[in-house]
Structure 1
């Protein structure tokens, strides 16, 4: 039977996974965006594509490098949810 404690545990674990996966994709783009902004402020170049393109490339690189691990992590979580559901029902 699904108790409130089990539901809270599932929700908190799900939120933890979401924050981890989002951070892996967003943080590198934020760092590159900050570096590009500092470069633009130092050189007074105000080109929009100069800030957009490096962030896009770093985000795509992060997806290419971490994508396999992220999908595996989500699959392991999915399997654990189904295993927990089987024990809750039976």
Structure 2
């Protein structure tokens, strides 16, 4: 296995990590900003107010995007196993 192949696998892994994590992180970011704006407008400074909606939103995002995330990870795993079999 050459250095170029290893770097290609690492690059592909990082890209897939970003793609798999982005739905949950994006939803958490949007919900966090909306809750922060709501807290600033109403002057409610309760810490748990931001935690529960983010948790629910991330759970919904994982349910909605779970098939995409699992498919991405399975494709990567299959490609790694194919590379191992060729060695």
- State whether TM-score is above 0.5: yes
Q: Which residue does 1:57 correspond to in 2?
A: 56
Q: Unpaired segments of 5 or more residues in structure 1?
A: none
CA RMSD in angstroms, aligned pairs only: 0.9
How far, CA to CA, are the matches of 2:67 and 2:20 in structure 1? 12
Q: Which residue does 2:68 correspond to in 1?
A: 69
TM-score by length of 1: 0.91
Runs of 4+ that moved beyond 2 A? none
TM-score by length of 2: 0.94
Q: Unpaired segments of 5 or more residues in structure 2?
A: none
How far, CA to CA, are the matches of 2:56 and 2:43 in structure 1? 23
Q: Which residue does 1:48 correspond to in 2?
A: 47
Structure 1 segment 7-86 matched on structure 2, within 5 A: 7-86=6-85
